[in-house]
Amino acid sequence: MPLPEAARRIVAVRSNELFGFVPAALDERNAAALHDMRIAAKRLRYVLELLGFVIGPVADEAQAQARELQTVIGEVHDYDVLIARLDRLSAKSSKRGVRRLGLRLHGRRDARFADFLALWAKIEDSGLRERLLSATTLSPNGSIRAHN
Q: pLDDT tens digit string along 14-25?
A: 999 999 999 999
Whether the predicted pLDDT of 148 surpasses 60: no
> In this predicted structure, what is the pLDDT of residue 57?
94
Rounded to whole angstroms, the Cα distance separating 28 from 48 reads: 28
Whether the predicted pLDDT of 140 surpasses 50: no
- Please classify residue 82 by burial: count the beta carbons closer than 10 Å to its beta carbon, then call 0-12 exposed, 13-18 middle and 19+ buried: middle
> In this predicted structure, what is the pLDDT of residue 95?
76
Task: Please tell me the pTM assigned to this model.
Answer: 0.87
Whether the predicted pLDDT of 35 surpasses 70: yes
> In this predicted structure, what is the pLDDT of residue 141?
47
Report which DSSP code applies to 144: B
Closest CA to 47 of 93, 92, 16, 26: 16
Rounded to whole angstroms, the Cα distance separating 11 from 104 reads: 39
Lowest mean pLDDT among 51-60, 61-70, 83-92: 83-92
The chain-wide mean pLDDT, for the chain, equals 91
Rounded to whole angstroms, the Cα distance separating 115 from 38 reads: 14
Closest CA to 53 of 1, 7, 5: 7
Average pLDDT value for residue range 123-140: 86
> In this predicted structure, what is the pLDDT of residue 138?
55
The answer to whether the CB of 36 falls within 8 A of the CB of 74 is: no
Task: List CB contacts of 121: < 8 A, sequence separation 6 or more.
Answer: none
Average pLDDT value for residue range 71-99: 89
Average pLDDT value for residue range 114-130: 97
Whether the predicted pLDDT of 143 surpasses 50: no
Average pLDDT value for residue range 67-82: 97
